[in-house]
Structure 1
Amino acid sequence: MTKNQFATIVIFIMLIACKENTSDKTGAIPDSKLEKGLSEQVLYYERNPNQIFKRTVTKTEFDSVYFYYDNRVLFKNGKKTKTGKKFGIWNLYDRNGILREIREWFVIKGNEKANRAWFLNEKMDTIAWRTQDSIFKQKEFINDTINFRNTVWDQFIFNKDTISLSEPIRGIAFCNSKSIQNEETAKIKVVIALHDSINFNSDFSNEELIKTVTFNCLSIDTQNQKYFTDSDLNYTAVFGLRFDSPGEKILRGYMQEYSYGPFKDKTIDSIIGLKRYFEKRLYVKGTMGENTAYNRTYK
């Protein structure tokens, strides 16, 4: 993946996420911007009762949450589940209103997890590593950090948002942020549910209970090597699924890095790296009976 490709992806994420932010610089959301039937809760700074600290817009399936600096500039916004767990894309801004960090959250087995993050400089260029301890210089927010400070370059690309029942959704996983270092045998794999009718739960809590299918990296999957001559074959994987029925669908899965020994100067026989989760929403059009390759995964 080139820097230009990655910059395009970050800009796309920013544009999607910005649609959620309908507030003005004072933190107020005009009544005209609130959908009919929605409610909101507002908390103010104790030291300044006229300034909004946090605003929560309550929706049917989730809550949209906004935090504000004491100078009325938006600090961060994103979504929370009804149990208070962050999920999806969260945008974080500095005190001048410049987007400086994008975090992608998943809820995994009941716990919120920072899955990927993109760190930006003041020109909004993606940087590999956040050297500053904190750019959110206000006592309420200065410790708002995650457990890593490196931009995650891992990428999931899908061919379409709408497919017919007779074709598969196709995806490509690129692992560009390695968690296993200095091991020539390290590779990735992609795991999804075998059938879309018995999918991963949204928090992957049923991972041990459902049948899955594993897609190997291209150094093993020789059938697709010819399409990726410039890619690291150990860190690229092609995957896909044919759906059982038409309608709105969610494809969930994860990419995992691993390495099997024997290793020099190590007593262990395997190293299991991080999981990077993904979720793809799409629409499958067609009628029952159209899919002659019922439940057959694409490789």
Structure 2
Amino acid sequence: MLKTLLYLFTTMLLIGCKEKLTKVVKYYDNGSIERIYFLDSDSVKQGEVKIYFSNNRIKLKGKYRDGSFSDTIYHYRDEEKNIVEVQNYYFNNGTYLYKDFYINGKLKQEGLSNKNDQRIGLWKNYDKDGNHHFTKEYKIIDGIEYTNQMWITLPTGDTLTEGVSIQYHFDKNKLQLTDSIYAFFQTEDSAFDEEDKEKTTVSVVLPKDYTQANFVPDFSNRAKDPGEKEGIPAIEIQSLKEHPNPMAVLQNPIDTTDYKKTVAFYWKPKRTGKDTIRGYFKEKLTLVDESKPIQLDKDQDSIITSYTKRIYFEFAVEVTKD
């Protein structure tokens, strides 16, 4: 059990309005210092903090502001050379930039985490020689950390997709109320193997009427699939293969005739101001057990199995009057 010596002595530190801080020292049972930090008059942690291993080597060094970590926090390996293992830079909104390092000092990975320690956005990973190895994109979906896409960087510098990934773009982010946005989506790599991906279908799912209710940032209020009664009603835009005249919605020629993996459409605003287009690209594999006859009776066991991979996106727009 740690021995604690509270209010060992007080010292004056220049923070805020030169408030008097109380230095707190905690000890291991062997008598070595476990940590040193400071409390303000409300017993809230402020200023510098140091934490040690039981062998007196530094374990953590950083700073508190109003009880939370602030600025850069260094976590050290239990090594004589005080090698940094993890470095976090904390922002005022509670998010922080995370970096960890190999024992040789080379950067291993870096990316942004939220205040719940969930990874968000693009995270870059490196090998022990410092070469960029792969990138993962994380989103928070239904409150849970979700791997959205992944790209591997080859020694040549080229990028290889891993798992399902897509390319997509909207042709403008500012428009007038009478204008429309052109959206283009295309699969770069399927989530399924070579044999099964020939049986997949792709589509884009959007709120049915975003002026009434849009998807929230973590999509937790969405209908899990179009047609479901619970959640925000959604519409599903099928691939160009299902379109009667695909050339009518293709704004520019594309380098493939594989309309099966391409979704394109026009999005027309219904109100002025700043807005966000939220939705997801869906790749679905449906398997039918051909050894059994198709069952039309809903009371009988289904012989159809489906697997779905979703890639979530959001795009900020600003709409002005004519």
Which range, TM-score by smaller chain? 0.5 to 0.7
Question: Contact 1:91 / 1:102 at 8 angstroms: preserved in 2?
Answer: yes
Kindly tell me: are residues 262 and 54 of structure 1, through their superposed partners in 2, closer, same or farther at Cα, counting changes over 3 Å? closer
Q: What SS class does the counterpart of residue 219 from structure 1 fall into?
A: helix
Distance 1:268 1:48 in 2: 63
Kindly tell me: are residues 93 and 186 of structure 1, through their superposed partners in 2, closer, same or farther at Cα, counting changes over 3 Å? closer
Tell me the TM-score normalized by structure 2. Answer: 0.62
**Residue by residue, what CA displacement relative to the aligned partner does 1:94-137 show, whole Å, maximum 9, x if unpaired?**
22221111111111112111111111123322246xxxxxxxxx
Question: Contact 2:89 / 2:97 at 8 angstroms: preserved in 1?
Answer: yes
Q: Alignment identity in percent? A: 22
Map of 1:114 onto structure 2? 147
Which of residues 313, 317, 321 is equivalent to 1:278? Answer: 313
Q: What SS class does the counterpart of residue 106 from structure 1 fall into?
A: strand
Question: Residue 174 of structure 1 aligns to which amino acid in structure 2?
Answer: Q
Which has the larger share of strand? Answer: 2
Question: Contact 1:186 / 1:259 at 8 angstroms: preserved in 2?
Answer: yes
Question: Contact 1:188 / 1:256 at 8 angstroms: preserved in 2?
Answer: yes
Which of residues 208, 213, 220 is equivalent to 2:235? Answer: 213
Which has the larger share of helix? Answer: 1
Distance 2:288 2:128 in 1: 51
Distance 2:80 2:124 in 1: 25
Consecutive unaligned residues of structure 2, counting only runs of 5 or more, are: 1-69, 224-230, 293-301
Deviation at 1:48, TM superposition (A): 4.7
For CA contacts below 8 A with separation 6 or more, give which structure has more relative contact order: 1
Distance 1:242 1:268 in 2: 40
Q: Is 1:42 the counterpart of 2:74 in the alignment?
A: yes
Map of 2:209 onto structure 1? 195
Deviation at 1:77, TM superposition (A): 1.0
Q: Is 1:77 the counterpart of 2:92 in the alignment?
A: no
**Residue by residue, what CA displacement relative to the aligned partner does 1:138-185 show, whole Å, maximum 9, x if unpaired?**
xxxxxxxxxxxx354422222123333332332211123234544755
Kindly tell me: are residues 220 and 98 of structure 1, through their superposed partners in 2, closer, same or farther at Cα, counting changes over 3 Å? same
Matches within 5 A, 1:148-297: 150=162, 152-179=164-191, 181-182=195-196, 186-197=200-211, 198-208=213-223, 209-225=231-247, 227=250, 230-258=256-284, 264-265=290-291, 268-269=303-304, 271-280=306-315, 282-287=316-321, 290=322
Calculate the aligned-residue CA RMSD, in Å. 2.7
